[in-house]
């Protein structure tokens, strides 16, 4: 049993699991925002367009219910379905926009990095070659010889 809990602890502490958990939490909050957008902005606009108080009014009653007889109504929920489709489309549009912006930012960052690397390579190519250790030692030896002759 201890091995099971150790494996679970290792699994849960991986970075990708934590990232996924954050994504689920943010996704839930984002779902609430888009649901509000659809319910409070898009649905009233559609209601004005279809001249009904909300998209639920677009539902079609196939059989009326009779509460006294215990008969439930049968309703074709077109308006409810349209609201769900709009909600999905809003979420898909926002996610598409976010991913597109992230990809564009990534491409720009890669372009800037590539340009910087090219500039560094060009600067390194423009620098004169540095003398080798042997050349420096030879120059020091020549300088010492000159100093000994003048002394």
Domain CATH code at residue 127: 1.10.1200.120
* Average per-residue pLDDT for the chain: 82
What is the number of domains present in the chain?
A: 1
pTM of the model: 0.52
* Interacting residues of 54 by C-beta distance below 8 A, sequence separation 6+: 43, 44, 47, 79
SS3 assignment, position 131:
coil
Tokens matching residue 60 = 């079609």
Average pLDDT estimate for 34-62:
76
Range of the domain at 127: 2-150
Work out the average pLDDT over 91-109: 87
């Amino acid at each position: 049993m201890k091995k099971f809990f150790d494996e679970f602890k290792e699994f849960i502490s991986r970075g990708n699991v934590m990232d996924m958990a954050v994504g689920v939490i943010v996704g839930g909050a984002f779902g609430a925002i888009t649901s509000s957008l659809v319910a409070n902005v898009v649905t009233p606009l559609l209601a004005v367009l279809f001249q009904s108080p909300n998209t639920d009014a677009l539902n079609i009653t196939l059989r009326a219910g009779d509460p006294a007889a215990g008969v439930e109504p049968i309703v074709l929920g077109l308006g409810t379905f349209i609201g769900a489709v709009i909600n999905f489309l809003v979420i898909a549009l926002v996610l598409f926009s976010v991913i597109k912006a992230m990809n564009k930012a990534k491409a720009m960052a890669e372009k800037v990095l590539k340009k910087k690397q090219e500039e560094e390579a060009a600067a390194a190519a423009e620098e004169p070659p540095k003398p080798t250790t042997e050349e420096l030692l030879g120059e020091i030896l020549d300088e010492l010889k000159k100093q000994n002759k003048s002394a």
